[in-house]
Amino acid sequence: MRAFDSFNRDNYMDANISPLAGKLPIPSMLIDVPRLITAYYSEIPDPSILAERVIFGTSGHRGSSLTKTFNEWHILAISEAICLFRQYQKINGPLFLGMDTHALSVPAFASALEVLAAHDVEVMIAENDEYTPTPVISHAILTYNRNRSTGLADGIVITPSHNPPHDGGFKYNPPSGGPADNEITQWIEEKANAILKNKLKNIKRISFEKAKNASTTHRHDYLHHYVNDLANVIDMNVIKNSGIKIGVDPLGGAGVNYWEPIAERYQLDLTILNKTIDPTFCFVPVDWDGEIRMNPASPYAMTTLIEKRHLFDIAFACDTDHDRHGIVSKKAGLLPSNHYLCIAMDYLFKHRLSWSKKMGVGKTVVTTQMIDRLANKLNRSVDEVPVGFKWFVQGLLDGTLGFGGEQSAGASFSRIDGTVWTTDKDGMIAALLSAEITAHEKTDISTLYENFEREFGKMYFQQQNAQATLEQREKLKSLSASQITFTKLAGDNIHKILTKAPGNNEAIGGIKVISDEGWFVARPSGTEAIYEICAESFRDQSHLEKILNEAEIIVKKALTDTSTSGE
């Protein structure tokens, strides 16, 4: 029996758990890489079909070449649209271009560069064609733009994050350094789809060989610029001097070659469990639904590291583009994402003495209310926003937020001096912070959350996922409060039904139903063909299960009710 310990199936429940979950994939599950790449070039999307258009979710366009949702035409069209956007916004600094280790990232990188170079964009690509984590691109943009008001840089990250191996992803980061906001993505999406509809006529493009050798294409040492700056966001001396043993599993992602230089530069006792890069990801245990998914927040994908946790004082993993984290303690195993966000936020506001007293905390609508209770004690404000890290960008940039975190294991925070580090999720600093906390507190990190429970009471959180078509997801996204006719949730009066986040009054893209003793959020995933119900009880596990059961009933009734339309 595998021990998931504190992060067991009571914390992470999904419909129809696969019998393969937590085991290494069998050969028949592995992607056929040549077939995937061939489909990227040979399959032509039909823009009259909604699913085959360019669609920006919570973080860029994602899909698979096998389903005509991520093909060469998509990337050429999006790249052309980004060039037009840069001209429209007079963005004329360098564009930092990076990619992760998914199979479709390499051809998408080539397609993008062919268009960017044809437009004479100054493009910064990695030395030695190195893979580049998402936070490293954000860090590069912000570092370049510091103290500049003109000639600003922006970036593109080619990644579908932790999505399965058959997927590709493509996202744009404007000069603010983080994921583009809705206004920008809508502009790019509309232009790209118009280009698709026009069968790519009039786009500028040169051969990849010419693009790579163009005078506007430059090599950039992403790795050492990022690694050498880490001491300004993490107290590396505390970690080094403690002598703690650290384990890391890069899960075959873009940061795989970053961890050894980090260990050498800061003299850390750090062991890398697996340095393999293989686009089939055959070494990653299967996730809950039988898919290979490089998700460090999943107890199934993290099985290998969980089973080796006794070798380390603290261990962690990051997803494929290294913007998400998974923290494994020797005592408790994989920490629930909500637990670690609380630990990290509490520690940072207590120990970053240069941070402004006015700095607040950013959290998404699906993140635990324990954050609010801790923030209240720390006398810090909480901005509760919709799902998507783009909602934290401005706050992290202008210093009104010292920390931004989302339940799906994404976070970033300010430098030690209180200035901005990244405005995109950074799984590497979140992971390294767990080592700093372990070293500084001289205790197993899980005990810190136990202290919160003793003071504020225990929170019972759970997420359920179910497969959903694009049409079902669109319908859920447009639900209105008036479609929820129930007055009670698990026996308690419902006192709030939200379709907009209280922190910024932006649409949740679903609903949040709140009672005195708990809440649930139902929303479609912006990155996968599923919908999610996240719920939390302030009472007990039985009460949580009632909330989840009733949430499913409430959502299904609302989705099948044709008498009321969305807002």
Q: What are the structure tokens assigned to 193, written together?
A: 């789809």
* Torsions phi, psi for 62 (to 5 deg): -135, 155
What string of DSSP letters covers 398-466?
A: HTSEEEEEETTTEEEE--TTSS---SS--HHHHHHHHHHHHHHHTS-THHHHHHHHHHH---EEEEEEE
Exposed, middle or buried by CB within 10 Å (0-12, 13-18, 19+), for 240?
middle
Above 50 in pLDDT, residue 375?
Answer: yes
For residue 134, what pLDDT is reported?
98
**Which helix (DSSP H) or strand (DSSP E) does residue 361 occupy?**
strand 360-364
* Cβ-contact 110, 116 below 8 angstroms: no
pLDDT over 70 percentage in the chain: 95
Please give the C-alpha separations between residue 319 and each of 260, 261, 447, 466, in angstroms, as whole numbers.
Answer: 17, 19, 25, 22
For residue 2, what pLDDT is reported?
31
For residue 527, what pLDDT is reported?
62
Q: What are the structure tokens assigned to 81, written together?
A: 């649209």
pTM of the model: 0.94
Q: What are the structure tokens assigned to 337, written together?
A: 């994402």
Q: Which of 79, 105, 138, 161 is catalytic?
A: 161
Above 50 in pLDDT, residue 447?
Answer: yes
Residue-wise pLDDT tens digits, 68-117: 999 999 999 999 999 999 999 999 999 999 999 999 999 999 999 999 99
pLDDT over 90 percentage in the chain: 86
* Cβ-contact 473, 532 below 8 angstroms: no
The rounded distance, in Å, linking the Cα atoms of 194 and 30 is: 35
Q: Sorting pLDDT into bands at 50, 70 and 90, what band is 526?
A: low
- Active-site annotation holds for 79: no
Question: Where in 100-189 does DSSP place strands (E)?
Answer: 123-126, 154-158, 167-173
353 CB-side CA count, 13 A:
1
For residue 356, what pLDDT is reported?
97
* Cβ-contact 427, 226 below 8 angstroms: no
Give the residue among 304, 299, 333 at the shortest CA–CA distance from 5: 333
